[in-house]
């Protein structure tokens, strides 16, 4: 009988919190419950969250993903993604008498409300975020064209010329790098000290907590694996935070994307997942690592989360009926 080869020890530092946040969980539930209540198909404007596996699973249940409302028939329900939509979208859905369900994360809705409040007070609004991201498109679309100026970098902040330097307010995308955003805000504040800030930080608790956990993991790990899709802003930011902390980082969709060559000479690997990545993908990566290594798994906890968001009444009533 041949003895099994001795496997190399590998410590896995599991970042906590990781994976689904309350806004993502709510958005996915809205699609699932809508399919249960109204039957298939249910249309979803834009990917409900930025994760390929989540989208494929919902598609298998009867969701049809489209980019624009004009791709949806009038007589089927449509769900708006967690990233939020411009005001023109629900207005058009209402005009067409469509049944629509808004899965916008409540923390994104908070940014919308603040932007509207500043606009009504006559302030010029600066939005810190990434051009083309659906959340940025949705936030800028709450107000008339030209009311919001997008700032992406410190260089943008230094080049920005407002109409009235004493009458400014800023907001931010909820999934940005905390450190990068702080640098941009500092550059703006140095130039415009009277600029109004959000009542509470716009970068959401989940983004902040996951980045803090990655910073903690990265001080101990030789390599960081971030599970999430390449179009997920918060997942990309996690890989960037790890790399900035000096830990080589790879963003992977799932276990199949894991390249064992990355692990040559690695004794400790950090593992986390973006806010739109389900926990079964994390388990899949751990299982694949266990095929090659003798694993020791440790938890690296930066915060505990107990946030939940209510479902739209039309769905929660169905649940309690």
Q: Is the pLDDT of residue 148 over 70?
A: yes
Cα–Cα distance measured from residue 150 to residue 148, given in angstroms and rounded to the nearest whole number: 6
Nearest Cα residue to 77 out of 45, 29, 109:
45
Q: What is the pLDDT of residue 200?
A: 83
Given the residues 135, 155, 300, 317, the one annotated as active site: 135
Q: What is the average pLDDT value for the chain, to the nearest integer? A: 95
pLDDT at 303 over 70: yes
Enumerate residues 6+ apart whose C-beta is below 8 A from 98: 69, 72, 74, 77, 78
Tens of pLDDT, residue by residue over 186-218, are: 999 999 999 999 988 899 999 999 999 999 999
Where do the CATH 3.40.1010.20 domains begin and end in the chain?
Answer: 8-20+205-301, 107-191
Q: Average pLDDT, stretch 215-233? A: 97
**CATH T-level fold of 8-20+205-301:** Cobalt-precorrin-4 Transmethylase; domain 1 (3.40.1010)
H or E element that contains 123: none
Right CATH number for 22-105+308-320 from 1.10.260.40, 3.40.50.11270, 3.30.465.10, 3.40.50.720?
A: 3.40.50.11270
Give the per-residue pLDDT at 4: 59
Confidence of residue 316 (pLDDT cuts 50, 70, 90): confident
Catalytic, 135? Answer yes
pLDDT of residue 1: 54
In percent, how much of the chain has pLDDT > 90?
94
Q: What is the mean pLDDT of residues 76-91?
A: 97
Q: Which residues contact 47 (CB under 8 A, 6 or more apart)?
A: 55, 65, 81, 231
Q: 172 to each of 4, 20, 91, 164, 302, how far by Cα in Å?
A: 54, 21, 24, 20, 23
Name the residue with higher pLDDT: 6 or 55: 55
Secondary structure (3-state) at 226: strand
Report the SS3 class of residue 60: helix
CA-wise closest residue to 36 among 97, 79, 85, 80: 79
- Residue with token string 């699932």: 32
pLDDT computed for residue 321 by the predictor: 44
Does the structure show a pLDDT above 50 at 320? no
pLDDT single digits (tens) 231-240: 999 999 999 9
- The pLDDT score that the predictor gives to residue 199 is 82
Which CATH fold topology does 107-191 show? Cobalt-precorrin-4 Transmethylase; domain 1 (3.40.1010)
Beta bridge partners of 269: 12, 223
Mean pLDDT computed over 241-251: 97
Q: Which residues of the chain does CATH 3.40.50.11270 include?
A: 22-105+308-320
């Amino acid at each position: 009988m041949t003895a099994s080869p001795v496997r190399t020890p590998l410590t896995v530092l599991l970042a906590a919190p990781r994976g689904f946040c309350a806004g993502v969980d709510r958005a996915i539930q809205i699609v699932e419950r809508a399919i249960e209540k109204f039957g298939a198909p249910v249309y979803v404007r834009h990917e409900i969250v930025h994760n390929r596996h989540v989208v494929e699973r919902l598609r298998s249940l009867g969701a049809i993903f489209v980019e624009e409302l004009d791709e949806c028939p009038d007589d089927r329900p449509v769900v708006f993604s967690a990233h939020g939509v411009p005001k023109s979208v629900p207005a058009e859905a209402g005009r067409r008498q469509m049944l629509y369900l808004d899965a916008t994360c409540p923390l994104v809705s908070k940014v919308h409300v603040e932007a509207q409040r500043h606009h009504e007070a006559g302030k010029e609004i600066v939005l810190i975020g990434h051009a083309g991201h659906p959340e940025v498109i949705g936030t800028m679309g709450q107000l008339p064209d030209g009311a919001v100026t997008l700032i992406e970098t410190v260089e943008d902040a230094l080049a920005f010329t407002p109409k009235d330097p004493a009458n400014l307010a800023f907001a931010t995308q909820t999934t940005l790098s905390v450190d990068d955003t702080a640098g941009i805000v500092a550059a703006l504040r140095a130039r415009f000290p009277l600029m109004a800030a959000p009542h509470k930080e716009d970068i959401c608790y989940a983004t902040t907590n996951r980045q803090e956990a990655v910073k903690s993991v990265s001080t101990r790990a030789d390599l960081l694996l971030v599970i999430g899709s390449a179009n997920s802003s918060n997942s990309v930011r996690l890989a960037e935070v790890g790399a900035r902390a000096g830990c080589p980082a790879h963003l992977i969709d799932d276990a199949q994307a894991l390249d064992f060559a990355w692990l040559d000479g690695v004794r400790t690997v950090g593992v986390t997942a973006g806010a739109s990545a389900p926990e079964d993908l994390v388990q899949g990566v751990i299982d694949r690592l266990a095929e090659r290594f003798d694993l020791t798994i440790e938890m690296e906890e930066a915060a505990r989360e107990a946030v939940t968001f209510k479902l739209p009444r039309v769905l929660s009533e169905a649940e309690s009926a």
